[in-house]
Every structure is written in structure tokens, then in C-alpha cells.
Amino acid sequence: MYQKKVSVIITTFNGSKYIKKQIDSIFAQSILPGEIIVCDDHSSDETVTLLNSYANNDILKIHVNDKKLGVVGNFKKAAKIAKQGNWLVFADQDDIWIPQKLQKLVDAMQAIDDNITPALVYSDLTIIDKDDNVIYESFWDKQKIRPEKINLATLLYGNIVTGCTMIINYPMAEEFFLMDTIDYLHDEWLSLIAYSFGKAKFLNEKLVLYREHEYNVTLSENYKPLGIIDNIKTEIDYLSGKRKFLARQFELANAFLVKYHDKLNAAQIHIIENFIKQEDDNYLLKRFKRRITYS
């Protein structure tokens, strides 16, 4: 028996193509969520009509925004609508969950949630294309991510937690409510909390079939497939100083430090300050530092 109920939060925007598969895969879970909150960000396609075909289902609750809030703002709205105290599980609009996903996330969260410390559990995923064919079996293998090596210092160089694999407890949800910027994604923000004054746990299992296609709303630059020529172009831009390496990461680290200075301990502040200090370092030096931090 679980001490908490689970709310799945989904944000949709013109997602009519795959939303049914996503919702059906949630209804096929081995444990069901207490509620599924869908916030539609003012879609102009059939998303809402499709969602309404589930209308006499007690679990699914649909909200349509009057004006566009953006991905993070919309997720925040959904999180606030969810029943207070529930664990929150994030879902995208075009993925497929494997049937044991909720069960595994809930079991893991059960083990670490103390009702005080913000906690986050996440997992690996499989990348599929528009016809459900597997492109990459493991996102982590493909990105050479070793989650057991992740800590605050490594996380500052780039987020590895994918929103659609996350479950968070209520104290973490409260931190999410307080996230006052929409310049950053909720997953990168919450993972910094988890790996600093919160708790983080990963499951080395692929619990989501993540769909990569032309309509993706958030597609991280990191795994947008780039050609060799594009790669060389980027390298030249970095070397010539035309593009700043890790620019966004420095902004994120800064914003995070400002917001949570009081909650972080001396060592954590030191790690973040050290990271920010290298902002004006040479590109090659930064790359080198990133490399040694990871290994």
C-alpha cells in the first residue's frame, strides 16, 4: 500500500497526433495514478477534442488555457491544480510509457521520501521515431551519461534529467511553485535542487519511449543530430569567441545561486561559484575542465 497518491501532469500543445497513445499508455499502467491533470496550452488542433473523448473517465481532468503559458508555465499550472500533497509525475504529450513505469517510480520514491526534503527520481529512456521505431535503445548510453557519476559539480555542465521520466515529492513540488523564472526548463532547475539540498535517485531502466520528431516542443540541442560540417562550424564559432561555450549553463548556475544561496551549504556554494568563475576562461580550458569533472 502506498502512503501517497500520484498525480500525473501532462502539458499539451497541438499534440493531436500522439496524445492518444500517451494517455492510453498511462491507463495501461500496472498501478494507476489518482488523477491525470492535462493542461492544454491553447492548442489550435484537435488535441482537446481527443482528450474530451475520455471525458467520462474519473481520473482524467482537462484544463484549457485561455492564453499560451509556455511549457514550464503550463507544467507549473498543472502542478498547482494537482491534489495537494500528491507525488507528481511529469508526462510529455507524445511519448509512450512502459506499463511498469509508475510502479517503479513510486516504489523508488516511497523509499526516499521523508515529507520534508525535496526529492526527485528519474530514469533512462528509449528514443523512438514518429512510427514507434526505436532510434536509440538507451538515451544514457548514446549520450555517454553515467548517472552514478552525477553530482552537483557535473550537473552544472549540463542537465541529464529528462522531465518525462521524473517523479517528485510534495516538498519538491513546492520548490517548483517557487520557480520564478521561465527562462530555464523545469527538469534542469529541479535536478539542481535534488542534487544540492534535496535528494536524487535514478533508475537505470528505460521507462519511457521518448518520441523524437519534427514537432517536438522542447528538443535539447544536445541530441539534435548534427552533421560533421555543422559540428566543425560550431567548433569554429566557439574558438573564435563568436559563440560562448556553456553560456546558458552559466546563466542557470547564477540564477540558481541567487535563488538558493541561503539553502545551500558552504561546499555547494563553493562548487557553484567555482563553476561560474570559469565563465571567461578560454574555450579549450572549459572543455578540458568539463572533461575532468565528468571522469
Partner 1 sequence: MDPGNKKPLAGCIILYNPTDSAIKNIESYLDFLNVLYVIDNTECVDEKLVKEIKLLDSKIVYVHQGENKGVASAINTGAALALSSNYQWLLTMDQDSNFLGSDFFDSWHTNINDTVGLIAASYTDKYDRWQKDYSELYNEIHFAVTSGNIINLKLWEAIGGFEEKLFIDEVDHDYCLKLRKYGFKILISKKKLMKHMVGELYDRLENGSAKSKTFILHSPLRYYYISRNVLYLCKKYFFTDFDFVICRFYYLIKTLVKILLKYPDKVVYLSFFFEGIKDFALSKYNKHGH
In angstroms, give the least distance from the CB of 93 to partner 1.
Answer: 17
Q: Which helix (H) or strand (E) holds 87?
A: strand 87-91
In angstroms, give the least distance from the CB of 59 to partner 1.
Answer: 7
- Whole-Å CA distances, 238 to 243, 281, 282: 5, 12, 10
Whether the Cβ atoms of residue 119 and residue 169 lie closer than 8 Å to each other: yes
CA distance linking residue 288 with residue 292, whole number of Å: 6
Q: Shortest CA distance to 91 belongs to which of 104, 78, 80?
A: 78
Whether the Cβ atoms of residue 7 and residue 33 lie closer than 8 Å to each other: yes
Instruction: Verify binding: residue 110, partner 1, rule CB under 8 A.
Output: no
In angstroms, give the least distance from the CB of 141 to partner 1.
Answer: 22
Nearer Cβ to partner 1 (88/192)? 88
* Per-residue mark of binding to partner 1, 70-99 (x: CB under 8 A): -----------------------------x
Q: Shortest CA distance to 169 belongs to which of 124, 252, 108, 125?
A: 108
Per CB under 8 A, the list member of 16, 17, 21, 27 interacting with partner 1 is: 27
Nearer Cβ to partner 1 (20/201)? 20
Instruction: Verify binding: residue 30, partner 1, rule CB under 8 A.
Output: yes
Whether the Cβ atoms of residue 211 and residue 189 lie closer than 8 Å to each other: no
In angstroms, give the least distance from the CB of 150 to partner 1.
Answer: 28
Instruction: Verify binding: residue 2, partner 1, rule CB under 8 A.
Output: yes
* Per-residue mark of binding to partner 1, 35-54 (x: CB under 8 A): ------------------xx
List residues bridging with 201 in a β-sheet. Answer: 121
Per CB under 8 A, the list member of 9, 12, 33, 190 interacting with partner 1 is: 33
Cα atoms found within 13 Å of the Cα of residue 166, Cβ hemisphere only: 27
- Chain positions contacting partner 1, by CB under 8 A: 1-2, 5-6, 20, 24, 27-34, 53-59, 99-100
